[in-house]
Amino acid sequence: MDKGSKSGFTIIEVVLFLAITGLIMSVMLVGIGNSINQERYRDASTSLLGYLQGQYNSTVNVSNTRAKNQPCTGVGTDDGRGTSDCFIVGRVLTGIKTQTDSNGTRHVIESRPVYASVDLRPSDPALIGKTDVEILRLSGLTQGSEVESYAMEWGTKLVRPTGDPAGDSTFTILIIRMPTSGIIHTYVMSSLDRTPSQVLTSTVLPAEPTVDFKACLEPAGLIKSAQALTGVRVTKNAANSGGVKFVAAGDC
């Protein structure tokens, strides 16, 4: 009888097994992490697209958050619910700003309502021959103090497309509804914190200011820097949310 015969694994075999298992697990974890980060990057792109489209919906379907006693012209006060010395005609977006909170420092877009204090009628003889920009200038536009902030998701940042002469990512976007016709226009400046009047004053008459605004999402490490970025485009003089487009990878 062979009493020295035993079954089992040697120390070398156990070490090799653990090493191979650990290697497989590390590869799997890296793959899962990459998939999660790519999904977060796509989520950031989709969220930004939805936010910008929502600004057009807010212009069409007006929601007034201004306190009843807060004047929009700087003179006088409202008399009560349902009365006002002005009416909402759009939104003005400014960015990119930075905001620091418990989640760190993030890129932020600020949105404010735009009010008109002069009630213009299409039949007004003084408006005959006027361009839309000139009519808007006569509308007594002012921006409200109520600020809605949108923080970029997952630490992503907005940057200009490669080769864009504007350089940085600052902008002011005016989404405005014509008080005389209801038609929506979009005006863009590559400058931060411009008022509606400043945006309209920057235009050259009689031509309407029509320029695309395109911004790309810097991934903040979510994907490889060499990977093509995605982004959003607000088409020139967009008239509704359909004017906000997704920019596919390779076009930024």
Does 149 or 69 have the greater pLDDT score? 149
- Residue 125 domain-assigned (yes or no): yes
Residue type, position 55, single letter? Q
- Residue 133 domain-assigned (yes or no): yes
- Residue 228 domain-assigned (yes or no): yes
Q: Are 155 and 106 in contact (CB under 8 A)?
A: yes
- Residue 227 domain-assigned (yes or no): yes
pLDDT tens digit sequence for 162-218: 766 555 678 899 999 998 999 999 998 888 889 998 988 876 544 455 578 888 998
Q: What is the mean pLDDT of residues 93-119?
A: 87
Question: What pTM did the predictor assign?
Answer: 0.79
**161 CA to centre of own chain:** 15
Q: Are 225 and 252 in contact (CB under 8 A)?
A: no
Q: What is the mean pLDDT of residues 215-227?
A: 77
pLDDT band at 80 (very low <50, low <70, confident <90, very high): very low
- Residue 75 domain-assigned (yes or no): no
- Residue 91 domain-assigned (yes or no): yes
Residues 151-172 as b/e (b if ≥16 CB within 10 A, e otherwise) read: bbbbbbbbbbeeeeeeeebbbb
Does 96 or 90 have the greater pLDDT score? 90
**Measured between alpha carbons, how far is 176 from 187 in angstroms, rounded to an integer?**
8
State how many domains the chain has: 1
**Measured between alpha carbons, how far is 248 from 161 in angstroms, rounded to an integer?**
12
Domain extent at residue 191: 11-63+84-247
DSSP category for residue 96: E
**Measured between alpha carbons, how far is 91 from 74 in angstroms, rounded to an integer?**
19
- Residue 119 domain-assigned (yes or no): yes
Q: What is the mean pLDDT of residues 136-155?
A: 90
- Residue 202 domain-assigned (yes or no): yes
